[in-house]
Structure 1
Amino acid sequence: MALSRGLRWCQRIFSWVPVVIITAVVLWSYYAYVFELCLFTLSNPLEKVCYLFAFHVCFAMFIWTYWKSIFTLPSQPSKKFHLSYTDKEKYENEERPEAQKQILNDIAKKLPVYTRAASKAVRFCDWCQVIKPDRCHHCSVCEMCVLKMDHHCPWVNNCIGFSNYKFFLLFLAYSMLYCIYVASTVLQYFIKYWVGEIHNDRAKFHVLFLLFVALMFFVSLMFLFGYHCWLVSKNRSTLEAFTSPVFLRGPDRNGFDLGALKNLEQVFGKEKKYWFLPIFTSLGDGHFFPMRTQSESSSPLLSTEHQWEDGRSDEETNPLQIEDQAVRIEMET
């Protein structure tokens, strides 16, 4: 037990190594740009002021979004999705798999759960003892179920999901902006150092590596950011891009695709003035997501969500019945 606890602490300590590396590189880039380039190399005062002002704007947005990506805790399923003491005891005492499956089905009827496991069973996490909401997955690194989990990112030492996916996207965008700004403003002085117009060996070293590091990070971030932009346009997570979510009607990779604009609003919200700020504006609470088909996203389904939130009885509305009706409507059409 003590050994296991010690290994867990070592794992947690080493998990911060990528964050420390990124932080060290960013701090060095700040010193190299502000001091070695702007203060020690540039001679025009107006040029210094313009360079420093634009740099600090990019730097501030980059740091803000990186901080939010790291320290925004992943959202977990609410208590409504946890088994009660009675249900948990009943589930654990039952040895027959089919009977356990039926117990979970009965509990899930009271919840807005529309996706299933590949076996069509209700998705249940044995570690967290929770019925998984749609698009929720268990992260083995964080040791918790995460709402709308996208992936676990070692560079922010955090699980990217419903609570911080917008922050992560903005972090990638402002990282690219930071890199391209640094590279574009450093390039002309790199050339001047290279042809011998400016003689400062120490600054030359910093400018050389500043350009190289900025371009290297920009290229790698460009592909990652482009991939996530494609995911947002399709309303998919990274996990859903590899494994399609399963509904009662079967697997459907585009099950949550509402169209490009609505997909964008799911992550960034309806207020466009907040889209570029690391402020949480995503729609919903992470437990329920509108679905693609008209029969699934119609008012009866939304009514189901509100009734679940209000704590009404499952006799008034049954999510599984609505899903079955949706399947029959699709088959008829």
Structure 2
Amino acid sequence: MGNACIGLLNHKFFILYLFYVVNFCSQVTGPFLMLFCYGERDSDDGSDNESFGMFTLLVFYPNEFISLALATALMLGIGFMLVYQIVILLMNKTTMEVSLDPKSSPFRHKGIVHNIRMIFGDRVCYWFSPFHDPFPDMKLVAFTPSERQLMQFGVPVKDRNSGRHGLDYIQCIIPTVRSV
């Protein structure tokens, strides 16, 4: 199973990583698509009717052809993964939670907006920033930073207020448990 280590704490950053990779690959692929659609501009008379195909690109510009092929393959593959991650984000799940039995799953769909705010945080201006952690917005402030670090490594820590174990942070060991 791929992406098994994507839990609640790093789901935002994984989605942003996929978004930035697809964005970069589309910026590499975009000019080539424009070149194929509109042709090469002739420098003599300014006409746009010359065709520019894949064979011409392969013969005269082999490095650019390899860049186009790699960028297109990455854009398609990672683009499908990005769409999948967005769909399961809207369903209030992570990649590990998708494989659980839906009847015995403790997770409830709380609405699309609430699901997005739980992963990306309450401040919309920070949603696309990889430097702002939505950690305080996830209702996880009952634990000290050292307890949070222990939980990231899979050590369950008991919450002093509710008595529950802080399993929200265990990634790669058991599925992420969110507040119900």
TM-score calculated relative to the size of structure 1? 0.34
Residue aligning to 2:121: 269
Which one has a larger percent helix, Structure 1 or Structure 2?
1
When residues 212 and 194 of structure 1 are mapped into structure 2, their CA distance, relative to the original with a 3 A threshold, is: same
Q: Which amino acid aligns with 1:242?
A: S
1:104-183 map, 5 Å: 151-152=3-4, 159-183=5-29
Contact 2:6 2:94 in 1 (8 A): no
1:133-282 map, 5 Å: 151-152=3-4, 159-189=5-35, 192=40, 194=53, 201=60, 204-244=61-101, 251-252=104-105, 255-278=107-130, 279-282=132-135
When residues 210 and 235 of structure 1 are mapped into structure 2, their CA distance, relative to the original with a 3 A threshold, is: same
Aligned to 1:176, the other structure's residue is in SS state: helix
Q: Which amino acid aligns with 2:104?
A: P
Q: Which amino acid aligns with 2:98?
A: A
Partners of 1:213 and 1:184 in 2: how far apart?
A: 13
When residues 312 and 197 of structure 1 are mapped into structure 2, their CA distance, relative to the original with a 3 A threshold, is: closer
2:140 is aligned, of 285, 296, 300, to 285
- In structure 1, runs of 5+ residues without a counterpart are 1-149, 153-158, 289-307, 320-333
Partners of 2:85 and 2:54 in 1: how far apart?
A: 40
Contact 1:151 1:160 in 2 (8 A): yes
When residues 256 and 194 of structure 1 are mapped into structure 2, their CA distance, relative to the original with a 3 A threshold, is: same
Q: Number of paired residues?
A: 133
When residues 163 and 287 of structure 1 are mapped into structure 2, their CA distance, relative to the original with a 3 A threshold, is: farther
| CA RMSD, 1 decimal | 3.5
Which one has a larger percent strand, Structure 1 or Structure 2?
1
1:88-103 map, 5 Å: none
TM-score calculated relative to the size of structure 2? 0.60
Contact 2:7 2:95 in 1 (8 A): no
- In structure 2, runs of 5+ residues without a counterpart are 41-51, 144-157, 166-180
